[in-house]
């Protein structure tokens, strides 16, 4: 299997090699139930998982259920989530999401993608993260289940030639990845791509000389190839 082979087979080989390289790759956000995962994922927008985990370490003892987000003044909630950034929008989104959960879902986080994306502040990326990690059995049979395309997954998909679209077209990249990555491998692929994107295949300077999937990559700098990610960004 080389750099130019069939997309599905190459994706499979990439996942196999990355799984050997990062056997413990898993979601970095700390949570103990679906509601905590949903809140943490919403807080992680434009922030780091480390920062979110620092904040939620105390936040989750004060806000345990959707009602708790509505029981405090919005300014108090803003203060409590302030270090994660964009706290005005996030506080509004968390309260609107909590309200919708109470109104439409008896205060429980739904497991279907079709329901998750009806929550304010929840688009496909967040819905996929919550479903795949909190309801993995549902993810295996939900026809709407996909792949969470964050900045790392998008960049890797472009560099590895697993999509025809630029790294900003998350929905189109997700569609392409769904065509080449089997349902059972999608959560693992997401976690592996994120791990590889953080450690080796960084945005500015990919460490192609240290890359476990270099021989499969059509953007390898080591092989003197054009970086498809940079090319797509112009």
Cβ atoms of 81 and 45 within 8 Å: the answer is: no
State which of positions 10-39 bind ligand SF4 (CB under 6 A): none
Q: Does 154 bind ligand SF4 (CB under 6 A)?
A: no
Q: Which is nearer to ligand SF4, 145 or 181 (CB)?
A: 181
Cβ atoms of 173 and 157 within 8 Å: the answer is: yes
Q: Does 217 bind ligand SF4 (CB under 6 A)?
A: yes
Q: Which segment (5-13, 46-54, 107-115, 210-218) binds ligand SF4 by CB under 6 A?
A: 210-218
Binding ligand SF4 (rule: CB under 6 A), the pick from 41, 220, 233, 234 is 220
Assess whether 150 carries a catalytic annotation: yes
Given the structure tokens 């295949």, which residue do they identify? 201
Helices (H), the chain: 7-21, 34-43, 49-62, 66-71, 74-81, 87-104, 113-116, 124-134, 136-141, 151-159, 170-180, 186-199, 228-233
Q: Which segment (45-53, 90-98, 167-175, 207-215) binds ligand SF4 by CB under 6 A?
A: 207-215
Cβ atoms of 121 and 151 within 8 Å: the answer is: no
Cβ atoms of 78 and 84 within 8 Å: the answer is: no
Q: Does 56 bind ligand SF4 (CB under 6 A)?
A: no
Q: Which two tokens stand for residue 1?
A: 């299997």
Q: Which segment (35-43, 117-125, 179-187, 219-227) binds ligand SF4 by CB under 6 A?
A: 219-227
Assess whether 171 carries a catalytic annotation: no
Interface contacts to ligand SF4, rule CB under 6 A: 159-160, 200-201, 206-208, 211, 213-214, 217, 219-221
């Amino acid at each position: 299997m080389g750099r130019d082979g069939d997309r599905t087979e190459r994706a499979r080989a990439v996942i196999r090699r990355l799984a050997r390289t990062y056997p413990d790759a898993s979601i970095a956000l700390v949570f103990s139930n679906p509601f905590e995962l949903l809140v943490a994922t919403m807080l992680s927008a434009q922030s780091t998982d480390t920062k979110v985990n620092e904040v939620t370490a105390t936040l989750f003892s004060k806000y345990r259920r959707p009602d708790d987000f509505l029981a405090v003044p919005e300014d108090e909630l803003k203060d409590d989530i302030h270090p994660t950034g964009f706290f005005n929008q996030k506080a509004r989104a968390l309260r609107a999401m909590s309200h919708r959960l109470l109104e439409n879902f008896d205060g429980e986080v739904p497991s279907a993608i079709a329901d998750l994306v009806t929550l304010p502040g929840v688009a496909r990326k967040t819905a996929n993260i919550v479903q795949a990690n909190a309801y993995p059995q549902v993810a295996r049979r939900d026809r709407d289940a996909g792949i969470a395309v964050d900045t790392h997954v998008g960049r890797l998909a472009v560099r590895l030639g697993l999509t025809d679209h630029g790294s900003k077209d998350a929905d189109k990249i997700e569609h392409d990845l769904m065509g080449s990555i089997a349902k059972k491998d999608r959560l693992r692929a997401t976690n592996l791509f994120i791990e590889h994107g953080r450690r080796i295949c960084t945005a500015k300077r990919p460490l192609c000389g240290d890359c476990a999937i270099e021989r499969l990559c059509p953007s390898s700098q080591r092989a003197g190839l054009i970086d498809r990610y940079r090319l797509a960004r112009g």
